[in-house]
Amino acid sequence: MYPESPTLARGLAAVALILLSGCASLDPEAGYRPLRDTVAERGGLDLPWITAQRRGLADTLMETLRAQPLEIDTAVQLALLNHPGLEADLAELGGAEAEAFQSALLRNPFLHVSALYPRDEHGRALDIGVSWDVLGLLALPPRREAADHARAAARLRAGARALGLAARTRAAWYDQVAEREAVDWLRDQEEAAALAAEVAGRLEAAGNLPPMSARASRSALLESRHAREDAEVAAETGRERLAALLGVGDGADLILPERLPRLPARDPDPVDADHLAARHLDIAVLEAELARARKLADRANPGYWTNSLELGWNWDREADGEWKDGPSLGLSLPLFDTGAGRRVAAEFEIRRLEARLRERHAEIRSEARLLDSRMRRARARVESLREELLPLLSDSQDAALLEYNAMHRSVFHLLDLKRRELAAIHRLAAHLADYWRARAGLDALRMGVSLAEAGPTAPDRATTTGAAEQGGH
């Protein structure tokens, strides 16, 4: 019969205490609540969790859009509800929460059971032991701190993806409206070029215009047609990009406003590049990853020569039936794995993150200054075109019409002035689009994210468009 022993009772109590201390509850939505607050605070947006109600809200919103234009705020709301990539990001956040929870748990105890049979076949010995890695308990605080930093980084990454989706949707909405508007203006230019080519052909047939001038009119028509076709391709590409961000199957059903919003009365205050960089989510993620790397480096340099120390309690029954119990000790001998590789890797990871943090700070500051300059430059160009060039062209057309009626000007002069006016309107719309693109990039930075197309190497679309148009005259 198993003997009663106070040491046995103490051993069982210790094992029970260890097992109970490892029990904890896992909340799958623990990371969603701070994420929802981050998105609401930075972007003023509502981010639903992965539920059946989320899909129902998206379907209802899509039904209402079949009969009315898609405004920019509605587009952002639909993207947050319907984009499958964001749903995958939310699921990834849940997985990251579970992994962080798992890494912060105590290591499981070990149960050892062995039966020994003597060779003389008389009796049988039984050995039962429970042991637990004590060093795991000593390493638990840094492990939990590293897990907290990993959890915070996962939440920040998910917030950056949600806010980044909202910012990209806004930019794609501006792009699509601007591209459709460009198609309309280029179609008007093509019609004017077609009229000039038709008049030139008739005058050539009557012998009143040299063939070279008629061919120049026909080449101008072809250039206008090609420009309109290229704009239609760009509009189709932008439509599919917007549809993908909204999570809808076919962008052809989207109804958008015909024109971009007018210039606002005033621009936002000049940007504080250092402030925008300091609150950028990329910086917050890198800082959390750096804090985690430092905690892991502390684990890689624990200050003791072994990485496993097991304490336990053993119960032995001898072949004659007598029970014995007592403490046990086991440790890992670092003969092959001394942990040197982990320590060096941890040091280089810290250096990498520190360098990347400095690099990202500089990139964000540069991006903020460039976007602010581009926005104010676009506003100045729009105002110049609207208040100076277009009135001059309108006055020129009025004067040319009087001279044409007096037979002092040809019809080609009138048509050329009309083409110049349409080209100026097209450039005004392009620069207005550049203004809203730059402002969308600044709004994204104020939320703490960046737009890919807002980098220092992105071309100025209005400047490119204007150069192309000037080359055609």
What would the pLDDT profile of 151-173 be if each residue is shown by its tens digit? 888 888 889 999 999 999 999 99
Q: Return the pLDDT at 452.
A: 59
pLDDT given for residue 165 in this prediction: 93
Of 162, 225, 239, 234, the closest CA to residue 197 belongs to 225
- Name which of 153, 164, 143 is nearest 93 in CA terms: 153
Cβ–Cβ < 8 Å for 428, 438 = no
For the beta sheet containing 323-331, the strands, ordered from the edge strand earlier in sequence to the opposite edge, are 110-116, 125-133, 309-317, 323-331
78 contacts 47 by C-beta, under 8 angstroms:
no
Return the bridge partners of 132, or none. 311
Residue 77 has pLDDT above 80, yes or no: yes
Tokens 């624990």: give the residue: 302
pTM of the model: 0.76
Residue range 217-274, pLDDT digits in tens: 888 889 989 999 999 999 999 999 999 998 887 766 778 888 999 999 888 888 899 9
Q: Whole-angstrom Cα distance, residue 205 to residue 195?
A: 15
Length of the chain: 473
Residue-level pLDDT at 462:
47
3-state secondary structure of 126: strand
Q: Is the pLDDT of residue 15 over 60?
A: no
CATH topology of domain 6-471: Outer membrane efflux proteins (OEP) (1.20.1600)
How confident is the model at residue 28, as a pLDDT?
A: 66
- Rounded CA separation 387/394 (Å): 11
- Collapse the DSSP code of 249 into the 3-class scheme (helix H, G, I; strand E, B; otherwise coil) and give the result: coil
Better-predicted residue by pLDDT, 83 or 473: 83
- Report in angstroms the alpha-carbon separations of 393 from 102, 399, 419: 71, 10, 10
pLDDT recorded at residue 252: 65
Give the three-class secondary structure for 391. helix
Concatenated DSSP letters of 439-463: HHHHHHHHHT---GGGSTT---HHH
Would you say residue 439 has pLDDT above 80?
yes
Mean pLDDT of 54-67: 73
pLDDT beyond 70 at 352: yes
* 147 has pLDDT over 90: no
Comparison of pLDDT for 112 and 432, the residue scoring more: 432
Residue range 329-347: mean pLDDT, rounded: 79
Q: What is the pLDDT of residue 406?
A: 75
Of the CA atoms within 13 Å of residue 297, those in its CB half-sphere come to 14
Distance of CA 470 to the CA centre of its chain: 37
Please tell me the predicted confidence (pLDDT) of residue 458. 41
User: Phi and psi dihedrals of 292, rounded to 5?
Assistant: -65, -40
What pLDDT is attached to residue 19?
46
Among 98-112, 132-146, 157-171, name the one with the lowest average pLDDT.
132-146
Residue 287 CA to residue 297 CA, distance in Å, equals 15
pLDDT of residue 137: 74
Question: Looking at residue 372, what is its pLDDT?
Answer: 93
Residue 460 has pLDDT above 60, yes or no: no
Q: How far apart are CA 239 and CA 244, in angstroms?
A: 9
**What single DSSP character describes residue 187?**
H
pLDDT of residue 382: 94
How many whole angstroms separate alpha carbon 250 and alpha carbon 246? 10
Which distant-in-sequence residues (6+ apart) come within 8 Å of 375 by Cβ?
267, 435, 438, 439, 442
pLDDT at 228: 92
pLDDT at 120: 65
- Smallest CA-to-CA distance from 134 within 330, 296, 334 is with 330
Asked whether residue 333 carries a pLDDT value surpassing 60, the answer given is yes
138 pLDDT higher than 70: yes
Roughly how many angstroms between the first and final C-alpha of the chain, as a whole number?
108
pLDDT category of residue 454 using cuts at 50, 70 and 90? very low
Each residue's pLDDT tens digit, 357-397: 999 999 999 999 999 999 999 999 999 999 999 999 888 88
- How far is C-alpha 380 from the chain's CA centre? 31
Q: Which two tokens stand for residue 258?
A: 């015909």
Cβ–Cβ < 8 Å for 47, 36: yes
Phi, psi dihedral angles at 365 (to 5 degrees) = -60, -45
Computed from CA positions of residues 209, 213, 215, 218, in that sequence, does the dihedral angle turn out positive or negative? negative
Q: How many helices, marked H, and strands, marked E, lie in the chain?
A: 14, 4
Two structure tokens written together for 404: 């044409």
- What is the pLDDT at residue 305? 61
Higher pLDDT, 115 or 288: 288
Say which range, 24-28, 144-148, 236-240, 387-391, has the weakest mean pLDDT.
24-28
User: If you average pLDDT over residues 70-83, what whole number do you get?
Assistant: 89
Average per-residue pLDDT for the chain: 81
DSSP string, 255-302: ---SSPPPPPSSPPPPP-HHHHHHT-HHHHHHHHHHHHHHHHHHHHS-
Q: Which of 104-118, 365-379, 392-406, 442-456 has the highest mean pLDDT?
A: 365-379
Q: How confident is the model at residue 303 (pLDDT cuts 50, 70, 90)?
A: low
| 316: β partners | 127, 324
Tell me the one-letter amino acid at 38: T
Q: Report the b/e string of 51-69 with b at 16+ CB within 10 A.
A: eeebeebbeeebeebeeee
Given a cut of 50, is residue 4 above it in pLDDT? no
